[in-house]
Chain A
Amino acid sequence: MDFNDTAEEAQFRKKVRDWIDANAPKELEGELSRAAFGTSGITSQDPLAASKSWQRKKADAGYACPRWPKEYGGAGFSPIESVIWSQEEGPYAALSAQFTVGHGMCGPTMIEWASEEQKGRHLPPLSSGEEIWCQLFSEPAAGSDLAGIRTRAQKDGDDWIVNGQKIWTSAAHLASYGLLLTRTDPDVPKHKGLTMFFLDMRSPGVEVRPIKQANGRSGFNEVYFTDVRIPDAQRLGAPGAGWQVALTTLMNERLSLGSAISVGFPALLDYCKRLKLDGKPATDNPMVRARLAKFAVRDSGLKYTAFRAITALSKGKAPGPENSIGKLVAGLTMQELAMFALDLQGQAGVVGDEADGFFQTLLMRAPAIRIEGGTDEILRNIIGERVLGLPQDLRADQGMAFRDIPTRGHD
């Protein structure tokens, strides 16, 4: 048992470390390292320009999109190489926030379902950051129950005409293209009447409006479709097979292998060491120590769970189901940790947190972490059903035509 690289891994690590050392925007390192969750932290220059510039450099050197094949502008890394890459990229990975959905979800879906010609046209500029993509799945009335979406696509000659509304779309305001899940047949059960497309976000009838979030920021959008025309050639998969295509995308969403999500424990420990309670460091207080311990074991448990996954990858095996706990643990922990940091200050916690607002920012962002990309409850269902083998809950809409599914709790 050890944490060492194999000889090949060490060689690979040195190569990428040297390249990153020579090419990364070091002037941004401080800002990126101090950024609170959900922010890039960059104020000294235009964050999008900084992101695009780093992405372009990586693409030119063959380091963009680690898992994609080289022919589409990816790096063609093995799973373990891509883990090493992300460890070495470190704080600069935060520059890729606006590309995450495109690179992690839309790209892999295109690789699996688009024509060669479409892949040749769209994947290289997506990889290099020249074009940003978004994923148009969630709707106001369909989140966890994603197959309940209502945005309609109707065939009209060689085109489809789309009407409806999407929500919680990251990067839609920056995106050139989007992956769009639509309902094409409301007369069959909900999973069977869906069809996937990709579309040009500059098409007439597409309107993007930022959502003002509960924390006052705007990282997501609503997207409205009014008679938007999409050529049939931009359909991915057969009409009615949209759910299978969506599963490709969603599988990739949960495939952030080997990267432990940082819950902010080192920041909390540091903060508690500096904070004085009764004239002494908060870390001297037994109550504080007991609470810190609860956070410490979760932080460490996530780290070493990721190490177990990396070990599997290093041996060329698939990681086990333990990987499924990451976001569930991290989301809850971040929220509790932020609340605890403020609690330590008593009444003063409401106005400041003695850590440049780090914990207040985390507190106000935390509710979303527990919802986005699978709610805590959906993640527990996944663990219960796919890992522990428990049966699904009863579904009241099982086998029912989509149009007959009740849509209101009260009439």
Chain B
Amino acid sequence: MNFAFSDDQESLREQVRRFFADRCSSAVVRKVFEGDDAFDRSLYKEMAGLGLLGATVPEKFGGSGMGPLELCVIAEEAGRVLAPVPLLPSIYLASEILMKAGTDAQKHAWLPRLASGEIIATFAHAEQPGPVTKSTISSVVNGAKLNGTKSPVPHGTTADIAIISANEGDNVALWVADLHHSSVTREELATIDPTMPQARLDFADTPVEPLSGTCWATIEQALDHAAVLLAFEQIGGADKALERARDYALERMAFGRQIGSFQAIKHMLADMYVAATLARSNSYYGAWALSTNTEELPVAASTARVSATEAFLLCAKNNIQVHGGMGFTWEAENHLYYRRANALALALGSQSNWEDRMIGKLCEAAAASEAA
């Protein structure tokens, strides 16, 4: 049994943690949160310089040629500090999709520039409220021209290129488009977490290029893949929110005692620890599935996703509760964790969709093993 990260992966974690401690203080997060920039470009460039953006990209495409487990470690550390950079759309989604389903020319064209942080990409998929299914995709490609509307699109205002889901005939497939083209209209949307900006994109005869042999299953696989990586951001955030609450419970006095000595507070924190621990173990399961390319990935990814969402939401909301009135001020950072927890919970489709998907896949797996 070797259900843990390796020594090399742990030393990568230390390196990344030190880097973020040095370069991604809460002031950096707040600058993006309150400012006009969609993300911290210099932080993002420095991450590229350390090889973090192209962690899983092969060296021949300008990456560092590491594996998905290394990217999980990076994601967790980024999640702890709420790093205000477009890892989800550009790395976990677009880069990974291009590596799986891009043509050779597309990989050569885009992967080196994504890994170097020169450009960022997004994944434009949802079109309306509610679960995204084949029938909710009404964007259409005809003769390599895309028409339709995508909303919300993460980092849609600043992304240079997008991977887009759209119908061609009966098939929902994936396409890549240059978002700087004049046929694309972008509108920034107000969001609960401005460190993960969102936009509405309108496409009017936008030139697109197809990826190679994609279909609905490609999209599901890409979402599973991103769900595991996002789960690591979530457990990083959950742990940090728990630590913040614990530290405050030790420091804050009431009725002549540290508030952490009250069982009402202590038990709340214990429940946060329980949720964070279950989520971490489930996320390791997801990481294992990613790294072994197993057929279990849909079950593992949805398990990691559901558990990590639950944990970060619980830790973020209870962290504010432990802080009392101070926790609800603009100045305190607790609402940044609360915002991020809720934004991540919705980022790849809601908790109820993932729960539904997990049970569906578990039933399929059980039926398959009975048949066998």
Interface residue ranges, A against B (CB under 8 Å)? 1-5, 9, 269-270, 273, 283, 286, 289-290, 292-294, 296-298, 300-305, 307-308, 310-312, 314, 322, 325, 328-329, 377, 379-381, 383-385, 387-394
Nearest-Cβ distance from residue B88 to partner chain A, whole angstroms:
22
What are 10 pairs between A and B in contact, CB < 8 Å?
A1-B288, A269-B362, A296-B362, A297-B307, A308-B281, A381-B266, A384-B267, A388-B260, A390-B266, A391-B260
Q: Complex Cα distance A381/B265, Å?
A: 10
Q: For the complex formed, measure the closest distance between the CB of B251 and the CB atoms of chain A, giving whole angstroms.
A: 11
Which one of B26-34, B148-156, B351-359 contacts A?
B351-359
Closest 10 CB pairs of A and B: A301-B278, A293-B355, A384-B266, A304-B281, A380-B270, A390-B260, A383-B270, A289-B359, A297-B307, A305-B281
A-contacting residues, B341-358, CB 8 Å:
352, 354-356, 358
Listed in ascending order, the chain B residues whose CB lies under 8 Å from chain A are 1-6, 69, 242, 246, 249-250, 257-258, 260-263, 265-267, 269-271, 273-274, 277-282, 284-285, 287-288, 291-292, 303, 306-307, 310, 352, 354-356, 358-360, 362-363, 366
18 more CB-based (< 8 A) A-B contacts, given A273-B363, A311-B3:
A1-B6, A2-B292, A4-B2, A5-B1, A290-B352, A297-B278, A297-B358, A298-B278, A301-B282, A304-B3, A304-B282, A305-B277, A305-B278, A322-B281, A325-B274, A390-B250, A391-B250, A391-B257
Chain A binding surface SS class: helix
Q: Which A residues are in CB contact (< 8 Å) with B263?
A: 377, 380-381, 384, 393
Shortest CB distance A57–B (Å) = 28
Query: Measured between alpha carbons, how far is A381 from B271 in the docked complex, in Å?
Result: 11
Find out whether the CB atom of A388 lies under 8 angstroms from the CB atom of B363.
no
Find the B residue at minimum CB distance from A320: B277
Smallest CB separation, B254 vs chain A (Å): 13
Tell me the minimal C-beta distance from A397 to chain B in angstroms.
Answer: 16
Q: Which single residue of chain B is at the shortest CB-CB distance from A80?
A: B1
**Cβ–Cβ < 8 Å partners of B366 in chain A:** 269-270, 273
Kindly state the separation between the CA atoms of A290 and B277 in the bound complex, as whole angstroms: 21
Knowing A290-B356, A380-B271, A394-B261, say if A301 contacts B277 (CB, 8 Å). yes
A381 to chain B, nearest CB (A): 7
The reply to whether A3 and B1 contact each other, CB–CB distance below 8 Å, is yes
Contact B285 A300 (CB under 8 A): yes
What CA separation (Å) do A385 and B310 show in the bound complex? Answer: 24
Contacts A289-B355, A290-B352, A325-B274; A385 near B284 (Cβ below 8 A): no
Task: Tell me the smallest distance from the CB of B351 to a CB of chain A, in Å.
Answer: 9
Q: Which B residues touch A325, using CB under 8 A?
A: 273-274, 277-278
| A291 to B135 CA separation, bound complex (whole angstroms) | 26
CB distance from A350 to the nearest CB of B (A): 26
Contacts of A286 in B (CB 8 A): 352, 356
Given contacts A283-B363, A391-B258, contact A314 B2 (CB under 8 A): yes
Instruction: Report chain B residues within 8 Å CB of A303.
Output: 281
A381 CA to B262 CA in the complex, in Å? 10
Chain A nearest CB: distance from B107 CB in Å? Answer: 26
- Mostly, the B contact residues are helix
Q: Which of A5, A329, A388, A394 has the most CB of B within 10 A?
A: A388
Residues on the A chain within 8 Å of B6, using CB? 1
A308 to B4 alpha-carbon distance, docked (Å): 7
Chain A CB within 10 Å, residue with most, of B274, B307, B310: B274
Give the Cβ gap from B67 to chain A, nearest Cβ, in Å: 10
- Complexed CA–CA distance, A308 and B288 (Å): 12
Inter-chain contacts of A307 with B (CB < 8 A):
1, 3, 281, 284
Q: Which residues of A contact B271 (CB under 8 A)?
A: 380
Asked if B281 and A269 sit within 8 Å, CB to CB, the answer is no
User: A322: which B residues are within 8 A, CB to CB?
Assistant: 277, 280-281
Shortest distance between the CB of B311 and any CB in chain A (Å): 9
Most A CB contacts (10 A, CB to CB) among B307, B310, B352 go to B307
B285 and A304 form a contact (CB under 8 A):
yes
* B274/A314 in contact, CB under 8 A: no
* Contact between chains at B261 and A392 (CB < 8 Å): yes
Name the CB-closest residue of B to A301.
B278
- Given A1-B5, A301-B278, A301-B282, CB of A388 within 8 Å of CB of B287: no
Q: A301-B278, A389-B250 known; A293 and B359 CB under 8 Å?
A: yes
Chain B residues, Cβ within 8 Å of A290: 352, 355-356
The complex places the Cα of A269 from the Cα of B299 at a distance, in Å, of 14
Establish whether residues A2 and B278, one from each chain, have CB atoms under 8 Å apart when the complex forms: no
Contact with B288, one of A2, A294, A297 (Cβ below 8 angstroms): A2
Task: Please give, as numbers and ranges, the residues of chain A lying within 8 Å of B273 by CB-CB distance.
Answer: 325, 383, 387-388
Interface contact B278-A384, CB-CB below 8 Å: no
The residues of A that contact B5 with a CB separation of less than 8 Å are 1
Nearest CB of A to B122, in Å: 29
Which of A328, A379, A384 is packed against the most chain B CB atoms within 10 Å? A384
Q: Which residue of A lies closest to B260 (CB)?
A: A390
* Chain B residue nearest in CB terms to A303: B281
B253: min CB distance to chain A, Å: 11
